[in-house]
């Protein structure tokens, strides 16, 4: 016998009664009543009841739940109220045995905490709620790709092992690179900017690394970022790209991922558009009206964003941040050089994305690097490209994992990442 199947369980229907099928899957439940065994078998697409009689019963004697079977049988009518059909087994093959006790209950009847689930992630994926989160993540990724490609962005892959910091030096992981010090990329910032010279509109979806000792539900040391960069665009243009991307993702998943929403127990609601736009100045006024005593130039801490988030639940932009709060590559506003052409996209208190218009004049970029205490010679390779016809450009980075938490209505970013990395978690 091989291990081939004629159908995924999700493809079998009551219209196929009488038809022979070969199915494969995991035992979710197993009840013996006299000489008949009632099996519930699940694969990644669906679940069915299988009736086992006679000598085939011997083959499954003593088997535990989550063991893997291949079943040759015939689709037949059922009296079970949870199923529209069942499969009468003619031949059963045991492909793998599950050894009990299992570290977690994959059916979720016994609730396990997130740490135990992450320690046994592959088994946790047999839990339909967990599997649905990752199926949704897949649909989100495909919707993002489709939307950006339709907007004529070209997908690129930039290096993750780099020779100098792209976002300033603070939270870099370093490693030995054949006797030299290399770093893990914090973002594709410099490379994506350079690529606007030849490709104009680019995007990347990849893992990036931040050595942040944060123990929150929204920080990881390895996260997935969706980045874009576009020539001949200003920050308001790329905000438009971001907003329509978010709208597409919510529309697509809310319409096409009904089963996943049901398993997760969360209905995806399409947000209203256009998103509200608040300037940093307006946010400061709101916070000071709430007795926060902030001055122009102060950064907004988590406690501040919680207050703003309560007043503005859902998606909104905070624009025109003080220049000094933004990275060296962000361009100032024409009418007020203390402000920048920049934005963050928020969902309540949570920052999902930041971006802006970039400096494309090499002299201005060099002096900004110095102003921020960075050494232009460290950026020599990057700066060279600015002498080769660098177009004006703008872009953003969007935290995919954070976006997923908003989509599925969960607080902990670890729920939506397969094997999260944080200061306490390097394995599995
Ligand atoms: P920034 O540093 O704001 O901007 O990052 C962009 C977005 O990435 C997500 N993010 C994280 N998610 C999880 N864990 C982390 N440790 C983490 N750090 C960042 C957030 C954040 O909004 N180069 C710029 C973007 C640009 O201007 O194009 C940048 O990296 O959702």
Q: Residue 164's pLDDT band (boundaries 50, 70, 90)?
A: confident
Q: What is the mean pLDDT of residues 300-314?
A: 97
Q: How remote is the CA of residue 187 from the centroid of ligand 1, in Å? A: 8
Question: So what's the pLDDT on residue 2?
Answer: 76
Residue 121 pLDDT > 70, yes or no?
yes
Question: In this structure, are residues 92 and 71 in contact, taking their beta carbons and an 8 Å threshold?
Answer: yes
Sorted by sequence, the CB contacts under 8 Å of residue 15 that are 6+ apart come out as none
Residue 147 pLDDT > 70, yes or no?
yes
Q: Residue 108's pLDDT band (boundaries 50, 70, 90)?
A: confident
Kindly report the protein residue whose alpha carbon is nearest to atom 6 of ligand 1: 397
DSSP code at position 209: E
- Classify residue 179: in a domain, yes or no: yes
Same domain, 241 and 143: yes
C-alpha pair distances (Å), 385 with each of 50, 124, 336, 377: 64, 47, 28, 14
Q: What is the mean pLDDT of residues 40-68?
A: 96
Residue 169 pLDDT > 80, yes or no?
no
How many domains does the chain divide into?
A: 2
Q: How remote is the CA of residue 351 from the centroid of ligand 1, in Å? A: 8
Q: 309-343: b or e for each residue (b if 16 or more CB lie within 10 Å)?
A: beebeebbbbbbbbbeebbbbbbbeeeeeebbbbb
Ligand 1 pocket residues where CB is under 6 Å: 167, 187, 189, 210, 212, 219-220, 223, 225, 227, 351-356, 395-397, 399, 401-402
DSSP code at position 281: H
Tell which atom from ligand 1 comes closest to the C-alpha of 171. Answer: 16
Q: How remote is the CA of residue 40 from the centroid of ligand 1, in Å? A: 44
Kindly report the protein residue whose alpha carbon is nearest to atom 31 of ligand 1: 399
Residue 135 pLDDT > 70, yes or no?
yes
Q: What is the mean pLDDT of residues 8-17?
A: 98
β pairing state of 201-209 and 154-155 = parallel
Same domain, 145 and 54: no
Copy the structure tokens of residue 27.
């035992």
Q: What is the mean pLDDT of residues 120-134?
A: 97
- Classify residue 110: in a domain, yes or no: no
Question: So what's the pLDDT on residue 356?
Answer: 98
Bridge partners, residue 39, by sequence: 30, 50
pLDDT tens digits along 244-255: 999 999 999 999
Mean pLDDT, the chain, integer: 96
Same domain, 78 and 162: no
- Classify residue 142: in a domain, yes or no: yes
Kindly report the protein residue whose alpha carbon is nearest to atom 13 of ligand 1: 219
Copy the structure tokens of residue 153.
């962005």
Residue 168 pLDDT > 80, yes or no?
no
Q: What is the mean pLDDT of residues 24-45?
A: 96
CB atoms within 10 A of CB 190: 21
Question: In this structure, are residues 374 and 172 in contact, taking their beta carbons and an 8 Å threshold?
Answer: no
Residue 80 pLDDT > 90, yes or no?
yes
Same domain, 251 and 340: yes
- Classify residue 428: in a domain, yes or no: no
- What is the percent of the chain with per-residue pLDDT over 70, rounded to a whole number? 100
Same domain, 85 and 223: no
Kindly report the protein residue whose alpha carbon is nearest to atom 20 of ligand 1: 399
Question: In this structure, are residues 186 and 208 in contact, taking their beta carbons and an 8 Å threshold?
Answer: yes
Q: What is the CATH number of the domain that holds 253?
A: 3.30.930.10
Question: So what's the pLDDT on residue 166?
Answer: 74
Question: In this structure, are residues 184 and 171 in contact, taking their beta carbons and an 8 Å threshold?
Answer: no
Q: How remote is the CA of residue 153 from the centroid of ligand 1, in Å? A: 20
DSSP code at position 325: G
Nearest Cα to Cα of residue 9 among 93, 69, 98: 69
Kindly report the protein residue whose alpha carbon is nearest to atom 30 of ligand 1: 187
- Classify residue 252: in a domain, yes or no: yes
Q: How remote is the CA of residue 399 from the centroid of ligand 1, in Å? A: 6
Same domain, 185 and 295: yes
Q: Note down the domain range covering 367.
A: 124-416
Helix (H), strand (E) at residue 115: helix 114-119
Question: So what's the pLDDT on residue 195?
Answer: 98
pLDDT tens digits along 194-233: 999 999 999 999 999 999 899 999 999 999 999 999 999 9
235-256 vs 128-150: helix axis angle to the nearest 10? Answer: 140
Q: How remote is the CA of residue 226 from the centroid of ligand 1, in Å? A: 9
Copy the structure tokens of residue 58.
């011997």
């Amino acid at each position: 016998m091989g291990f081939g199947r004629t159908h995924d369980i999700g493809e079998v229907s009551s219209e196929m009664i009488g038809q022979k099928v070969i199915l494969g899957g995991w035992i979710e439940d197993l009840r013996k009543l006299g000489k008949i065994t009632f099996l519930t078998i699940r694969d990644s697409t669906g679940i069915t009841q299988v009736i086992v009689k006679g000598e085939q019963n011997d083959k499954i004697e003593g088997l535990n739940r989550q063991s893997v079977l291949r079943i040759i049988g015939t689709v037949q009518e059922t009296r079970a109220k949870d199923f529209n059909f069942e499969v009468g087994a003619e031949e059963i093959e045991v492909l793998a045995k599950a050894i009990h006790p299992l570290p977690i209950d994959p059916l979720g009847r016994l609730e396990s905490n997130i740490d135990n689930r992450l320690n046994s992630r592959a088994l946790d994926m047999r839990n339909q709620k967990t599997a649905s989160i990752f199926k949704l993540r897949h649909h989100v990724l495909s919707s993002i790709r489709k939307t950006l490609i339709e907007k004529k962005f070209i997908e690129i892959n930039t290096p993750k092992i780099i020779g100098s910091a792209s976002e300033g030096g603070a939270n870099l992981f370093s490693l030995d690179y054949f006797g030299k010090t290399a770093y893990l990329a914090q973002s594709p910032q410099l490379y994506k900017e350079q690529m606007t010279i030849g490709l104009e509109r680019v995007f990347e979806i990849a893992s990036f690394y931040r050595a942040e000792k944060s123990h929150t539900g929204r920080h990881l040391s390895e996260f997935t970022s969706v980045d874009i960069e576009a020539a001949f665009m200003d920050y308001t243009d790329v905000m438009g790209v971001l907003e329509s991307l978010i709208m597409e993702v919510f529309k697509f998943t809310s319409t096409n991922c009904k089963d996943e929403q049901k398993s997760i127990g969360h209905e995806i609601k399409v947000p209203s558009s256009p998103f509200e736009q608040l300037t940093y100045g307006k946010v400061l006024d709101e916070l000071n009206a709430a007795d926060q005593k902030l001055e122009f130039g102060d950064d907004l801490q988590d406690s501040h964003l919680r207050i703003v988030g309560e007043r503005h639940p859902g998606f909104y932009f905070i624009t025109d941040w003080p220049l000094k709060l933004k990275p060296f590559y962000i361009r100032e506003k024409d009418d007020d050089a203390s402000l920048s052409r920049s934005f963050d996209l928020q969902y309540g208190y949570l920052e999902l994305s930041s971006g802006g218009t970039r400096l494309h004049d090499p002299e201005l970029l060099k002096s900004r690097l110095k102003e921020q205490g960075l050494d232009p010679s460290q950026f020599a390779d990057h700066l060279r490209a600015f002498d080769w016809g660098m177009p004006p450009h703008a872009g953003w980075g969007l935290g995919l994992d954070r976006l997923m938490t908003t989509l599925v209505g969960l607080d902990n970013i670890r729920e939506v990442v397969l094997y999260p990395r944080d200061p306490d978690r390097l394995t599995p």
